[in-house]
Structure 1
Amino acid sequence: MFVGVTNGWPIRRAQTSPGLFGVALCFPCNRKRDYAVSYILEQSWCREPPQWVKLCGHGTLAAAHFLWTSGLVSSTVIEFATKSGILTAKKVIRSNLLGAPNVALNEAGEKFSIELDFPVIPVGGCNAAETPSITETLTGASIVELSSGKEVVDLHPNFDEIQKCAGNGLIVTAPAPPGSEYDIFTRFFCPKFGINEASPRGGRLDLQLMEETQRVCIRGEAVTVMVGSLLV
């Protein structure tokens, strides 16, 4: 994931940069909000081939990680103005983590994880009789639940067939095997975005559903592998 931080240079020029799996572009946002924040950023994402999407967990996590580790943001909360509304990233210091290993370090040497506050996306079930009508109504991704996590790991999908399916992708999930230290295994196949499978390198994610507010807290980690400047 490539993270670009700018004061307002043309976003679409970066959109054509070759060889980038994903891009998160950030710049300071001066829009007033109803609540106090110390730093507000406006963020957009694009994929390769160029295609803007409204929501990207990897992009949000990577952007927040870079802004904190680089010292550009000193507060423990960042609010991103996105096409999906306001998304909040919160820095969780190591002392507040429940035994989470290998978390990131900021400039002060503090170990931290990142907690994202995302909206819930409604889902609906279907039976065999409804299958013919799915292609007429599906606009999101299909979710298929298998019986075991091993089936998810061993799955070899036919990407040509997934490309023909309705919606923007296929999510396959199942309960994790006993003793794995996880609750679920999930893979996301999205050839329509030009990516056969979303990167499995996201590692461990801790999830919490808040039913009253219809929000999901996603806690994870990130690492910076390279820092540089892009000339446009």
Structure 2
Amino acid sequence: MNTIDFYMVDAFSQTTFGGNAAAVCPLVEWLPDETLLSMAQQHNQSETAYFIRTDSGFDLRWFTTQGEIDLCGHATLAAAHVIFEYLDYPDTTVRFSTRFVGELSVTRAGDWLTLDFPAWKTEPCDVPPLLLDCLGITRYHSVSAGRDYMVVLEDEQQVRDLTPDIHRLKPLDKMVCVTAPGDSVDFVSRFFCPGEAVAEDPVTGSTHSMLIPYWGERLGKTTLLAHQVSARGGELRCQWQGDRVLIGGQATTYLIGKIFLR
């Protein structure tokens, strides 16, 4: 029988039941991919982060209930929180090696953890009619595409009022981020995940890799404050540094337990 430590962390939140929950599992060595996927499906969270310790830091991978993904912000924040809080880690920066996006780091300053992620550009695209139909909108500022679709609306209230038919978006084969200027912050967003166990991601660190360059260029700023206006919600402190972005947030432990694999 294999025993694995298990943590559930509310990332991008200083209180329980806020932000975005992620499962975190430190491993001694990599288990078969089918086992990692089965565990993620059993956890039934938007993401499960797995890491192993190496001579130079940590190797990190992320799984949804559908499979392995190339980048996840809130689960990286959650993994770093576990390392800092429970693994007697002595430094203020955790360095992760990943399969798809290279080296990532998370730095701790007080209660705040800051992700150092790649910056992603989006390009204007033809607007699929299904996208607008499922979002239930006819009025928008722009639509572009990169890793995900980015739909820019005119104001914060329009983002808050959306009641999309999320799973009908699945044929588009991309996730969908909707964003607008904020009333009390620089920008707000919501993020929809058709086909996933969690249809609307509460707080999405990775999509800010494309939001920060967009809003930084549009607003002429390199330091921005963002709010993901989902039901749980989360605040993100953002910096645009050319081909990198810094994404700051807090994290709160919800659950610590053991997994028994027989």
TM range (shorter): 0.7 to 0.9
**Structure 2 gap ranges (5+):** 1-21, 132-144, 203-229
Shift of 1:203: 1.2
CA separation of 1:80/1:65 partners in 2, compared to 1, >3 Å: closer, same or farther? Answer: same
C-alpha contact (below 8 Å) 2:25/2:48 kept by paired residues: yes
**TM-score where L is the length of structure 2:** 0.68
* CA distance 1:202–1:15, change in 2 (3 Å): farther
- What amino acid is aligned across from residue 177 of structure 2 in structure 1? I
Q: Is 1:85–2:102 an aligned residue pair?
A: yes
Residue type matched to 1:208 in 2? Q
13, 19, 23: which is aligned to 2:48?
23
Residue 186 of structure 2 is matched in structure 1 by: 183
Give how far 1:131 is off.
4.0
1:204 is matched with which residue: 229, 235, 245?
Answer: 235
Deviation at 1:72, TM superposition (A): 3.2
> 1:45 — aligned with what?
62
Aligned CA RMSD, in angstroms, stands at 2.1
**SS at 2:120's partner residue?**
coil
The whole-number CA distance in structure 1 between the counterparts of 2:53 and 2:153 is: 43
How many residues are matched? 193
Distance in 2 (CA, whole Å) between partners of 1:26 and 1:160 is 30
Cα distance change of structure 1 residues 115 and 72 upon mapping to structure 2, 3 Å threshold: same
Q: Which has the larger radius of gyration?
A: 1
Counterpart-to-counterpart distance in 1, 2:127 and 2:252: 42
- Residue number in structure 1 paired with 2:176: 170
Which one has more relative contact order, counting CA pairs under 8 Å at least 6 apart?
Answer: 2
1:69 matched to 2:75: no
Aligned ranges 1:28-177 → 2 under 5 Å: 28-30=53-55, 40-48=57-65, 50-83=66-99, 84-93=101-110, 112-126=111-125, 130-131=126-127, 140-165=147-172, 167-177=173-183
Give the Cα separation in 2 of the matches to 1:168 and 1:192: 10
Answer yes or no: is 1:8 the counterpart of 2:29.
Answer: yes
Shift of residue 168, structure 1, vs aligned partner: 1.5
